[in-house]
Chain A
Amino acid sequence: MSSMSFRKLGRIFDPAAHALPAGCLQFAQAPQALVLEDRIRVYFSTRAVDREGGKLRSHVAFVDLTRDLSEVIGVCREPVIALGGLGAFDEHGIFPMSVVRVGDEVYGYTCGWSRRVSVSVETAIGLAVSRDGGASFQRIGEGPVLAASLHEPCLVGDGFVRIIGGRFHMWYIFGTGWRRYAPDAEPDRTYKIGHATSEDGIQWVKEEARQIIDDRLGPEESQALPTVIDIAGRFHMFFCYRQSFDFRRNSARGYRIGHACSDDLEEWHRDDENPRLAGTPGEWDSDMLCYPNAVECDGRVYLLYNGNEFGRHGFGAAVLEEGPAR
């Protein structure tokens, strides 16, 4: 296999430099690109503070960028989808939302958040459809299309969907459980990347708790936000991974970008080093790299991703180049 490397383009969107919808002030998390005729639209999740209680809710917005990602054209004025109603799986936030074209429509796979009492949150994956080219999305039902099941007990989320050979494939994460790592600590969760397939993008068949990407950090590695792209006939997956506790402020245990490749979408070979995306000391991604999204445009493959503090300060990009690894 030829070696690949990233050339970093730096941060391409700083949420603090733009007016955000829904009173959101910071965060542009989990960028997800949709290539339009004259621009690249990048959906992201941004956060508003609850009037009561002060907790955060994620809303989905987008920013349009030029097709080389060098300039911001504009940010949407309203969230592209309302949050779910009372008691719904997506009542307390949508983060992330991943998009895929299906005929004339755009399907948005949402990761909905709802708050719990003994643990902080439960998540599930919903489907919302856009018939206006991706400006707004309407959910197909109040409930999720992919949720906890017999051997995936919690935290199904981060769905990324592509249609390959006429079949819908979803890569997503499922929780393996919650654990308190110290008696007085809040519970932390661990999740792994799984795979499901579908004929219509609505009814899915899971592989049911088959972890498709090997752990690098051991059983307490948490893997998140897979993105899959076909590069020269081979499938490449990027994702992020971290330790399951003490990962928020301890850079050595925080998110990094992982990589795997596959020829058949069944077996994945993990290889985080080729290509490797590293943080730049002193820069916006010095301590953390997370939430990757791969997109091809005008013959180039870009990787969008978040840096420090889970994307509080926006997202950046790197362009993939073939050649000898340095």
Chain B
Amino acid sequence: MFRWKKLGKVFDPKQAADRAWLQEFAQAPCALLFEDFVRVYFSCRPAPDARGQYVSRSAFVDLEREDPLVVRRVAEEPILPLGGLGEFDEFGTYPVSVIRDGAEIRAYYAGWTRCESVPFNVAIGAAVSRDGGTSFTRIGNGPVLPYTPDEPFVLSGPKIRRFNGEWQLFYIAGRKWKMVDGRPEPVYKIRMATSADGIRWTKLNEDLIESRIEEDEAQASPDVFEAGGKYHMFFAYRYSAGFRGRERGYRIGYASSTNLTDWVRDDSKAGIDVSAQGWDAEMVSYPHVFDLDGRTYMAYLGDQVGRHGFGLAVLSGALE
């Protein structure tokens, strides 16, 4: 089992509440290294509208490289505009995953639209930054990864990677909408696609991670990290019903692979769980692993899927 030492919560949206678009949540952290700081992208929300509905925005917080528990700066504006009328990202951009591409930074993000019979649908878009990651422009006004016969809706949770000269996109695809206490809840599974240019994608069209706790287990945040000669995936999973509390809420799972497509799940190795008390006592989710100056960190969310911010843990030893 890996041993993660929790360092505590790093960023709470209350720290930046003078920004109207950043009132609650700091979800789905994603790190990008700069010379003397670590930029962590996350998704947040303004106050809900009169009908209690939220939109999601995405932004970043810069952490001191020498001590990533110290916040240096919070973005002044969201990094991405919301989409236009009827576009796939009209009502939210959450989550975001970024990667350097030469002098540019590429972002893959999930765009949210609102539907009549189910509350929402989600699709994955692509955007590019030419100002060092402060702002991003959409590459197109539609999604970069279309729905297909076996991935009919709710394409979300993108994690962009480049191994072996190829682009990989790990993401989740909705399997079904399940009625839970009269309310439709999506069941989704971890999938992947590959590309030569990050624009035209070929889907593997298979579930990467077998379901463990129940057939309708929902899986999210497939965060892939290469270390010790193989690939490690930390991800989040939960029950399909009653998941807003401690017993059936998100936990962090683990799988490994030597070829990126065949994964062996072993959650007993994940090495991080809910705390007895504190900000992450009910759930832990949306893991993101990154290396920083010889140490391996995991950014993750606590209770209510990041309503009160994200925290960091540091690995004792190495991933192997």
A residues whose Cβ falls under 8 Å from a Cβ of B: 85-89, 91-92, 114-119, 122, 124, 126-127, 139-154, 175, 177-180, 187, 189, 202
List 25 contacting pairs A-B, 8 Å CB cutoff, sorted by A: A85-B177, A86-B176, A86-B184, A87-B152, A87-B153, A87-B176, A87-B184, A116-B86, A116-B114, A118-B113, A122-B121, A141-B150, A143-B148, A143-B149, A143-B151, A148-B88, A148-B123, A149-B140, A149-B142, A149-B144, A150-B140, A153-B86, A154-B86, A154-B88, A178-B84
Residues of A within 8 A of B153 (CB): 87-89, 143
**Ranked 10 nearest A-B pairs via Cβ:** A141-B149, A143-B152, A150-B140, A178-B86, A153-B142, A115-B116, A117-B114, A119-B86, A87-B177, A87-B118
How far is A82 from B85 in the complex, measured between Cα atoms in Å?
Answer: 30
Q: A117-B115, A118-B86, A187-B86 are in contact. Are A86 and B177 (CB under 8 A)?
A: yes
Residues of B within 8 A of A92 (CB): 116-117
- Mostly helix, strand, loop or mixed at chain B's interface? loop
- B148→A180 contact, CB < 8 A: no
- B199→A144 contact, CB < 8 A: no
Q: A89-B152, A127-B149, A140-B149 are in contact. Are A148 and B143 (CB under 8 A)?
A: yes
Residues of A within 8 A of B121 (CB): 87, 114, 122
- Mostly helix, strand, loop or mixed at chain A's interface? loop
Whether B146 sits at the interface, judged by CB under 8 Å, is: yes
Nearest Cβ distance between residue A50 and chain B, in whole angstroms?
A: 11
Tell me which of A124, A140, A153 contacts B141 (CB under 8 A).
Answer: A153
How far is A177 from B113 in the complex, measured between Cα atoms in Å?
Answer: 15
B148 — nearest CB in chain A belongs to which residue?
Answer: A143
How far is A177 from B84 in the complex, measured between Cα atoms in Å?
Answer: 9
- A124→B147 contact, CB < 8 A: yes
- B113→A151 contact, CB < 8 A: no
B115 — nearest CB in chain A belongs to which residue?
Answer: A116
- Known contacts A115-B116, A141-B148, A178-B84; 20 additional CB pairs below 8 A are A86-B117, A86-B179, A87-B153, A87-B186, A89-B153, A116-B116, A117-B114, A117-B115, A124-B147, A127-B149, A141-B149, A143-B152, A144-B148, A149-B142, A150-B140, A150-B144, A154-B86, A154-B142, A175-B86, A177-B85
Nearest Cβ distance between residue A176 and chain B, in whole angstroms?
A: 9
A152 — nearest CB in chain B belongs to which residue?
Answer: B142
Whether B196 sits at the interface, judged by CB under 8 Å, is: no
Residues of A within 8 A of B150 (CB): 141-143
Residues of B within 8 A of A202 (CB): 149
- B142→A115 contact, CB < 8 A: no
Tell me which of B87, B149, B154 contacts A154 (CB under 8 A).
Answer: B87
Residues of B within 8 A of A117 (CB): 113-116
How far is A180 from B86 in the complex, measured between Cα atoms in Å?
Answer: 11
Whether B207 sits at the interface, judged by CB under 8 Å, is: no
A153 — nearest CB in chain B belongs to which residue?
Answer: B142
